[in-house]
Chains A and B, each alone.
Chain A
Amino acid sequence: MAYFTGILPFLLEGAKMTLFLWIMTLALSLPLGFLVSLLVRGRFRPLTWLMEIYIYIMRGTPLMLQLMFVYYGLPFIPVVGPWLRFNRLTAAIFAFALNYAAYFAEIFRGGFLAVPKGQYEACQVLSLSRPQTLTRVVIPQMIRVALPGITNETITLVKDTSLAYVIALAELMHGAKATVSRDSNPAAYVLAGLIYLVIVFAVTLVFKKLEARYRLREK
């Protein structure tokens, strides 16, 4: 027990980094994913294709590889390389945000597809403009459909942040691993696991509230 309380402050430092990475990734990838889903739906074909290629690459390659590529690989690109030398945290946020934006874009796209054609037609015969149709009618309905998928991804992201240990970012997993090898005692893994569970529990609670609110507004 004394050993647990001894290593706790160090692991909590890591947990702080984990949470920061989690929040920054969400703050960037949700708007970015939304934008991508709009571009995919848009009428400008080349942009649609470009976004689909982007989504395919992000979903078709391992996140760990993307992380290592952003941190170790980008600086080797000719000409622009020197400008793409990020510190560990920036690289991690960058890679996670790009990756999650692709997944969120897919979820938003599914939400858009769930809005019936009749809703757009009702807006048109009521003389609403396209932006008004989107913001007042389509997006609120799209969000409701997308929310469960968003919840799942945000929870997965809590755990995925641990991948950042491959670029030696001082987050929770990194702290646990360092503690275990220093003390030859696996207790730090157990403690780290518990901390992840607490975070996931809190996140789940928040999103369930959000989902319930969206459902209630329609009953």
Chain B
Amino acid sequence: MAVIEVKHLRKAYGEQEVLRDISFQVTAGEVIAVIGSSGSGKSTLLRCLIDLEQADGGSITAGGVVLMEDGHYRSKKEVRRATEKMGMVFQQFNLFPNLNVRDNLKLAPRLVKKERADALEERCARLLRKVGLAHKDTAYPALLSGGEQQRVAIARALMMEPELLLFDEPTSSLDPELTGEVLEVIRQLAAERMTMIVVTHEMGFAREAASRVIFMDQGRVAEEGSPAEVLDAPKQERTRLFLRSTLK
């Protein structure tokens, strides 16, 4: 079954059409890399999926729960039930600066899922080990490097046990020497068959970790296929142009 299904998604800011008739599906265990030049609508797409932005038309179904259908949003409760299945990691991390690492991880599951404290504690410790930050559990975000903050943000998203994890350029605000440690964590999640949609400019990462690549251009899915197909033998002239521009 599709973890998420998007049909004819449309979104405009005023006159400007940012998403034009986007359709795709993601099945469990897939890792989708979304590539495309700046302004092509990648962030807007992710933000519509998780209801940070309102779409103007189309349908979104997450894990069998309809979020919107033919441009009509379902009730607040249904939308919430659909978005609860997703997690999101932002370019700017957005950790809570008033809470230490451990409390950043536990806040939402404690308040939203109302789980037992020892179960939370156990999962928190396990996820911090997974991202290699068990020793920073009581540090405040301000004292962490960008790479560490982003790894905490990933662990925080995983605490909610999402069926689908969205990443919006997770390494774009990091110094080059820190991108590796974050991509490594995402690679590891891919190996564990975590379903993910990753907006990225890291073509090497897309080639190795993605099961499918979506190239977006001016609000459309311009090309879609395996990394080998899209990155090594693109059919569209636009894809070729874009890929050439990213080679430095």
Say if the beta carbon of B154 comes within 8 Å of chain A. Answer: no
How distant is B198 from chain A, measured CB to nearest CB, in Å?
15
Chain A at the B interface: SS class? helix
Q: How far is the CB of A73 from chain B (nearest CB, A)?
A: 44
Minimum C-beta distance from A216 to chain B (A):
10
Q: Give the residues from 188 to 224 in chain B that come closer than 8 angstroms, CB to CB, to chain A.
A: none
Q: Is A183 an interface residue (CB 8 A)?
A: no
Chain A residue with Cβ nearest B47: A121
Whether A126 touches B108, Cβ cut-off 8 Å, given contacts A118-B92, A217-B98, A218-B98, is yes
B108 contacts A141, C-beta separation under 8 Å: no
A195 CB to nearest chain B CB (Å) = 38
Which of A129, A136, A218 is close to B97, meaning CB atoms less than 8 Å apart? Answer: A218
Q: Give A121 to B157 CA distance when docked, in angstroms.
A: 13
Q: Tell me which residues from 105 to 134 in chain A have a Cβ below 8 Å from any Cβ of chain B.
A: 116, 118-119, 121-129, 132
Interface residue ranges of B145-192 to A (CB < 8 Å): 156-157, 160
A209 at the interface (CB under 8 A from B): no
Contact indicator per residue, chain B 16-35, by CB within 8 Å of chain A (1) or not (0): 00000000000000000000
* Also in contact, A119 and B94, with CB within 8 A (given A125-B88, A127-B84, A219-B143): yes
Q: How many residues on B have C-beta within 8 angstroms of the other chain's C-beta atoms?
A: 26
Q: How many residues of A contact B (CB 8 A)?
A: 21
In the complex, which residues of chain A have a beta carbon less than 8 angstroms from the beta carbon of B52?
A: 121, 124-125
Asked if A136 and B86 make an inter-chain contact with CB atoms under 8 angstroms apart, the answer reads no
**Do B90 and A119 touch (CB < 8 A)?**
no
Residue A82 at the chain B interface, CB threshold 8 Å: no
Please give me the residue from chain A that is nearest to B89 by CB atom.
A125
Interface residues of B in 17-66 (CB under 8 A from A): 50-52
Q: Please determine whether A125 and B97 come into contact, CB atoms closer than 8 angstroms.
A: no
User: Would you list which residues of chain A between 131 and 162 have a CB under 8 Å from chain B?
Assistant: 132, 136-137, 140-141, 144
Contacts of B157 in A (CB 8 A): 125-126
Asked if A141 meets B98 with Cβ closer than 8 Å, knowing A127-B112, A128-B112, A136-B107, the reply is yes
User: Would B50 and A219 count as touching, CB distance under 8 A?
Assistant: no
Name the A residues within 8 Å of B98 (CB-CB): 137, 140-141, 144, 217-218
Among candidates A118, A119, A126, A137, residue contacting B112 with C-beta atoms closer than 8 Å: A126
Which of A119, A122, A123, A129: most chain B Cβ within 10 A?
A: A122
Which chain A residues border B80 with CB–CB below 8 Å?
127
B50 contacts A125, C-beta separation under 8 Å:
yes
Asked whether, in the complex, the Cβ of B142 is within 8 Å of the Cβ of A137, the reply is: no
For the complex, is B140 an interface residue (Cβ under 8 Å from A)?
yes
- Please tell me if the beta carbons of A128 and B94 are within 8 angstroms of each other in the complex: no
Q: Does B233 sit at the interface, judged by CB under 8 A? A: no
- B92 touching A128 by the CB < 8 A rule? no
Q: A121-B94, A126-B156, A217-B98 provided; 14 other pairs, C-beta below 8 A?
A: A118-B94, A121-B52, A122-B94, A124-B52, A125-B87, A126-B107, A126-B112, A126-B157, A126-B160, A136-B96, A144-B98, A218-B97, A218-B140, A218-B142
Which 7 residue pairs are nearest across A and B when measured between Cβ atoms?
A: A126-B108, A122-B94, A118-B94, A140-B98, A125-B88, A127-B112, A218-B140
